[in-house]
Amino acid sequence: RRRSSVKAVSADAASAAAQEAPVSKKKAKELAAAAAKAQEEHDIRRDGPKLKPGVVDYIAVVGARDIGNQQNDDGAKGWVQSTPECTVLERFPKTDEYHQKNGRNVALPDKVEWFCFPEGCKLWRGSEPPHSSDLNLKRFSASSPPTMASSIAAFDACLNCTTSLTWFVLASNSDDYGSRCVKTYGICIRFYVPAPTGIDRTQDDFAQMMMGMDGMGPGASSSASGRKLHEAQSRANQASSTSDANSKRLWVPLGILMTTTHPIVGTIEAMLLRMCETLASRANSPNSTSSRWIWSVVHNDVANLIVNFQAPLPGVLHTSIPFLSGERLHLTLPPFTGLPPLPHGASVTSVCRLLGAEGLTVLLAAVLTECKILVHSQDVANLAMVAEVITALIYPFVWALPYIPVLPEAMMEFIEAPLSYFLGVPSCNMQ
């Protein structure tokens, strides 16, 4: 009896210990996190706040990897019926582990290419690339400075096509209770490039033809990617100029994307357009040595934005960073406990002009009463700007329901969700 009672007691103790084991592990994890936070606060009091690198999180090239079989295309001018799948062709850093190893909890969002082309990846056939009237898009967002026109004109001349700037916001909460909402801002400059000759009636792969067949996969270097992309575009432009003027060439979309967790959309737009201007001067440079030097400068400055340059401390310290030619770019962030940040300096004025007094009042009332909200516009950049300004104007209240300021065509079924939301849709997707 004594042995059986001892066994029973030991069995009960083992089961109790097994039940307490997960709790103790969880408590140990919480204690370790609290100790790390206390140590960080102690270091800040002793040495002052530390600047963390990372003005930009990622830079990527987005486009169609395979435009598919175009045998059903009748060759008429205008938009081609088939819509190829959009994908990330190149990115830096190549993997998310690079940032994680350096203590940055950021990642390139899944299906980010959908948000770069929310209207879908559309092909254009014509002797010239699509113009702004064909795209139904403005060159700039409503609050972009007019001085950017010179840079975008240089990029237009470089690629011989109309370009457009757009941006979007992706909001997410971490798994920790009480954590604040983290937003990822994506700014993309989009343009059309001529498809290589011989692709109209075949199943040639667009990425292999444009990026080159020798080592231009996702692991290739960004400098080699830029050189091969420029060479392919030059060959395509030469073939286009020597062909019959009445022939209808095929044009495919391409985009250069920068993502950041800081609300500095206007500054990122200036960076992209400054980079476009530099690339245009490189393309027009007859000297190969000078062209290689310009590309190395672009490569190093973009890498510094992601790896070396420090981001400002919200509400404490501003930073000033150099980027290519021109004046230094000044970055500032509001404190976390202050008013919500806005993407542009004149965004409130621009939204008031877009919506008018009645539209602004109706939209604010809908947000405060948590209605289903669906905003649409022909200019994709206006969607994110309106959503960001409206949700900022309800401060100190916070929009805590589903929030997708730019809804891609592949996610249109979200409109049928049986709960309140804030969605923005391009007008062409509403038809």
- Are both 222 and 366 inside the same structural domain? no
| Residue 1 DSSP class | -
With CA atoms as reference, report the closest residue to 264 among 323, 327, 322, 329: 329
Side-chain-side CA neighbours of residue 385 (13 Å):
28
CB distance 294 to 302 below 8 Å: no
DSSP 3-state assignment of 39?
Answer: helix
Task: Measure the CA–CA gap between 129 and 153, rounded to whole angstroms.
Answer: 15
With CA atoms as reference, report the closest residue to 194 among 244, 248, 135: 248
Cross-strand bridge partners of residue 90: 61
- Are both 386 and 306 inside the same structural domain? no
- Tally of structural domains, the chain: 2
pLDDT band per the 50, 70, 90 thresholds, residue 220:
very low
Please tell me the predicted confidence (pLDDT) of residue 221: 45
The domain in which residue 142 lies consists of 58-331
Task: Measure the CA–CA gap between 228 and 221, rounded to whole angstroms.
Answer: 11
Tell whether 14 is covered by a domain.
Answer: no
- Are both 294 and 396 inside the same structural domain? no
- Per-residue pLDDT, averaged over 158-177, amounts to 74
Tokens standing for 191?
A: 């343009």
The CATH number given to whatever domain includes residue 394 is 3.40.50.11500
Please tell me the predicted confidence (pLDDT) of residue 58: 94
Bigger pLDDT: 230 vs 418:
418
Q: Name the pTM for this structure.
A: 0.75
- Amino acid found at 19: Q
Tell whether 45 is covered by a domain.
Answer: no
φ/ψ of 355, rounded to 5, equals: -90, -30
Bigger pLDDT: 364 vs 147:
364
- Are both 131 and 184 inside the same structural domain? yes
- Are both 115 and 212 inside the same structural domain? yes
- Are both 268 and 149 inside the same structural domain? yes
**Cα diameter, the chain:** 103
- Are both 262 and 352 inside the same structural domain? no
The winner for highest mean pLDDT among 65-74, 190-199, 201-210 is 190-199
- Are both 406 and 272 inside the same structural domain? no
Tell whether 21 is covered by a domain.
Answer: no
Q: What is the pLDDT of residues 2-17, one digit of tens each?
A: 444 444 444 454 454 4
- Per-residue pLDDT, averaged over 386-399, amounts to 92
- Are both 317 and 406 inside the same structural domain? no
- Are both 324 and 375 inside the same structural domain? no
